[in-house]
Amino acid sequence: MDLNEIAQELTHHQQAAEELEKITLRYDGLAVEDAYEIQRLGIDSLIQQGDVMTGWKMGLTSKAKQQSVGVDEAIYGRLLRSMEMTGEELSLDGLIHPRVEPEIAFVFKHRLEGTDVTARDVWLATECVMPAVEVIDSRYKNFSFTLVDVVADNASSAKFVVANQAYSPYQYRLDEVGVVMRKNGEVVQTASGAAVLGHPVKSVVELAHMLSRTGDAIEPGMIVLTGGITEAVHVYEGDTVTAAFDNMGEITLNVR
Ligand code: OOG
Ligand code: MG
């Protein structure tokens, strides 16, 4: 099996916003490690074309998210500069069937690597934390996939935005930060940071451990999205979505 060929195919679908059937229907016997290699190859080709890797994202770190997609373990993906939005407008151009979800982001000043990384190491390496909203957009038909499919598709990464205001990692208990998601003024999802593996810091610990399998690390300056706190919300043209984080402000997206 040519993993690079599969990576190029997926990258094409990501860039053209064209959905496809699960790759596991065509390629039998792909292991999770192969899927991470496909992910890496796809992102590397975008980096060769000038994009820049700015961080990592964890996915499926909450029970709500795992149950809604039928995959029962955490995954990670790669974040590129081109995925980061700066304003409140979410353009549907280049997206297939986007969903949005509130997350806590960590930004790092020190490198984190290895299977022995602890929560204490994460706090010492963290420069700041920020509310964030991720826009996920699986390239698979009906947002339906297995673990291998979704990992190869860069964990459904499409876009993300972080709040303007950063916070000290020690300012609030991140497991107790409540989040209210509204769509067109109506409350559609609520949860607190504890939905993410009990505490978002554990998501970073888990990421460092998972990355050590391939010798990768969280590098200084990188951002890490720790995973959706609530279930992801479908958005359509004309929708306004807000994610309000207790004491940490609100992020609004106007879908155009
Ligand atoms: C996989 C990506 C999940 C999260 O925060 O849980 C994710 C998916 O549901 O398509 O980004
Ligand atoms: Mg996410």
Q: Which residue has the tokens 């151009």?
A: 93
**3-255: CATH architecture:** Alpha-Beta Complex (3.90)
Closest Cα to atom 7 of ligand 1: 59
Instruction: Report phi then psi at 68, rounded to 5.
Output: -70, -25
Do the beta carbons of residue 75 and residue 155 sit within 8 Å? yes
Among protein residues, the one with the nearest Cα to ligand 1's atom 11 is 59
Q: How much distance in Å is there from the Cα of 164 to the middle of ligand 1?
A: 23
List, in sequence order, the alpha helices (H) in 98-170. 119-125, 147-152
pLDDT of residue 9: 98
Any ligand 1 atom below 6 A from CB of 227: yes
Over 90: is that where the pLDDT of 64 sits? no
Q: Is the CB of 158 under 6 A from ligand 1?
A: no
The pLDDT-based confidence of 96 (bands split at 50, 70, 90) is very high
pLDDT of residue 19: 98
Question: What's the average model confidence in pLDDT over 148-159?
Answer: 98
pLDDT exceeds cutoff 90 at 201 = yes
| Cα of 102 from ligand 2 centre, angstroms | 8
Q: Which residue has the tokens 């679908």?
A: 13
Three-state DSSP class for residue 79? strand
| Band (120; pLDDT cuts 50, 70, 90) | very high
Q: Above 90 in pLDDT, residue 63? A: no
CA of 4 to the centre of ligand 2 (A): 25
Give which of 147, 157, 140 is closest to 46, Cα–Cα.
157
Average pLDDT for the chain: 97
Ligand 1 site, residue 137, Cβ cutoff 6 A: no
Q: Can you give the pTM of this predicted structure?
A: 0.98
What is the DSSP track for 220-245? TT-EEE---SS--EE--TT-EEEEEE
Q: Is 253 in the pocket of ligand 1 (CB under 6 A)?
A: no
Q: Which helix (H) or strand (E) holds 82?
A: none
Model confidence at 162, pLDDT cuts 50, 70, 90, reads very high
- Three-state secondary structure call for residue 219: coil
Measure 137 CA to ligand 1 centroid, in angstroms.
Answer: 9
Question: CB of 251 within 8 A of CB of 131?
Answer: yes
Conformation bin of residue 143: beta by default, left when phi > 0, alpha when psi is -120 to 50 = left
Which ligand 1 atom sits nearest the alpha carbon of residue 225? 5
Which of 136, 206, 226 has the most ligand 1 atoms within 8 A of CB, as the residue to mutate?
136
State the pLDDT confidence band at 240, using cuts at 50, 70 and 90.
very high
The residues spanned by each domain of the chain are 3-255
Does residue 149 line the site of ligand 1, with CB under 6 A?
A: no
Do 251 and 243 meet the contact criterion of CB atoms below 8 Å apart?
A: yes
pLDDT classification of 202: cutoffs 50, 70, 90: very high
For the chain, strand residue ranges (E) read 53-59, 75-80, 89-90, 99-108, 126-136, 157-162, 178-183, 186-192, 223-225, 233-234, 240-245, 249-255
pLDDT at 46 over 90: yes
Distance CA 73, CA 155 (A): 12
Closest-approaching ligand to the CA atom of 62 = 1
β-pairing, 53-59 with 157-162? Answer: unpaired
